[in-house]
Amino acid sequence: MMSTTQSVSRSSHRSARLYLGSIAQVFQKVAQAYRVYRERQALLSLSDSALKDIGLSRADAYREASRPFWDIPENR
């Protein structure tokens, strides 16, 4: 039979794991948003001919780079 102390201890460990998991998810999202931001900035640095090679115009690159950093595409 489990004592009350053991039950509380297991419950607090479970809560701590959930909390740490949530924090880890936040950090993962921030890291992902930063990667997307860097990719968008790299897109701006491409020449017009390089953009044309990938089927984008300079306006497309500016439009993509002007998106907010938290606006992460669904397929990421």
Name the residue among 32, 29, 51 with its Cα closest to residue 42. Answer: 51
| pLDDT given for residue 26 in this prediction | 93
Domain range annotation of the chain: 25-71
- Where residue 9 falls among pLDDT bands split at 50, 70, 90? low
| Secondary structure (3-state) at 63 | helix
Q: For the full predicted model, state whether its pTM sits above 0.85.
A: no
| pLDDT given for residue 29 in this prediction | 92
pLDDT tens across 11-41, in order?
A: 677 787 888 889 999 999 999 999 999 999 9
Q: What percent of the chain is modeled with pLDDT above 70?
A: 84
